[in-house]
Amino acid sequence: MNRDHSLFFCNPLGTGLASEYAHEEMSAQCLKHMPFRSLSRRLAVSALFITLCWSPVSVGAAVTTFIAEENAFTGPEQLEAGRRRVRLINRGTDVHQIQFLALPSGKTIAAVERALASRSPSLPNWLRRHGGVNSVAPGNEASVDIELEPGDYLLLCGIPDVAGRPHAMRGMVRALRVVAAAPSGEPAPRADATLRLTDFAFAVSGPLQAGARTVHLLNDGGQAHEVVMIRLAEGASARDFIERYRPGGLLNSAGREAGGVTGIDPGRQAFMHLDLEPGRYGLLCFLADPVTGAPHFSRGMWMDIEVKPVPVPPEGS
Ligand SMILES: [Cu+2]
């Protein structure tokens, strides 16, 4: 793996995937020639396409569905506070994510817009990362439970297009209001394993078997982290995926995006609901160090895991 940080582009929103050839200079060029669309206007337009889905998947669990298309999200404008199961369906042709970002009181979407329109655009460091559904390949879907407190949120996709521009800059951004609600009293999902994120490593509590699995994710680090899951091709590693990665949803011979959790702040937790196949998966964090700009995978935040087939009980048992 190439460890020269300067070769890796940390996208302007500091979330999502990186490209080794779309470096920061190119990104600045793109921004100059492609002014950021007015978030406010986009939010007003996207409000026309609101869909609210509450469909039971298991006893007591309600699912909120967002749909990613090429340049927009559709989904609810308002949710109740608490632990929410978020499902992202990707109807586009590129890989997408939905990142939940809480605005502290006194901060506005206009302030985020100004930060993104500045000379060196980046997501303001006062935005709080609550996770969300990460790296869903076209035609697929994934679900993650996240915790939401009352307040105003920005939902966006920070994954870059083929030119290295985050999808948020092409309209994949919307506002969400989270309103106070009485605690549901619903117990936390039963997890098959725990995945701890630190600066800069992943640690899984135990082996995972194929099938529908729930992984409890905890950020024990001092920085925000994410998990991008890759279904690895035969003989490939997460390192190969990084080396062969190109933005824009182009096929990568080392593997295919298979869900995950978007940026989540230290001390926060989430539950990933995965449908695992036997074989190897890669885990990657593409978030950038706020000081050096180096993507976390370049600091060692990647791991390969083996998913075992479910053992077949011996005949006659
Ligand atoms: Cu990280």
Average pLDDT, the chain: 83
- pLDDT over threshold 60, residue 30: no
Range scoring the smallest mean pLDDT among 18-32, 97-111, 157-171:
18-32
Reported confidence tier of residue 38, pLDDT bands at 50, 70, 90 = very low
Give the pairing of strands 269-276 and 302-308: unpaired
The CA 198 to ligand 1 mean position distance, Å, reads: 7
The CA 226 to ligand 1 mean position distance, Å, reads: 6
- CATH code at position 158: 2.60.40.420
Whether residue 149 lies inside any domain: the answer is yes
Whether residue 237 lies inside any domain: the answer is yes
- 60-69, 88-97, 168-177, range with greatest mean pLDDT: 88-97
**Whole-number pLDDT of residue 100:** 98
The CA 285 to ligand 1 mean position distance, Å, reads: 5
**What is the distance between the alpha carbons of residues 130 and 101, in angstroms, rounded to a whole number?**
6
Cα–Cα separations (whole angstroms), residue 1 to 152, 230, 237, 254, 298: 40, 17, 11, 13, 8
Does the reported pTM lie above 0.75? yes
**Whole-number pLDDT of residue 37:** 40
Domain count, the chain: 1
Q: Which domain holds residue 175?
A: 5-308
The CA 134 to ligand 1 mean position distance, Å, reads: 13
Whether residue 191 lies inside any domain: the answer is yes
Reported confidence tier of residue 120, pLDDT bands at 50, 70, 90 = low
The CA 15 to ligand 1 mean position distance, Å, reads: 10
Whether residue 231 lies inside any domain: the answer is yes
Write the pLDDT tens digit of every residue in 83-94.
Answer: 999 999 999 999
CA within 13 Å, CB half, 165: 19
The CA 296 to ligand 1 mean position distance, Å, reads: 5
Write the pLDDT tens digit of every residue in 221-259.
Answer: 999 999 999 999 999 999 999 999 998 888 999 999 999
The CA 12 to ligand 1 mean position distance, Å, reads: 16
**Whole-number pLDDT of residue 21:** 27
**What is the distance between the alpha carbons of residues 183 and 158, in angstroms, rounded to a whole number?**
31
Whether residue 317 lies inside any domain: the answer is no
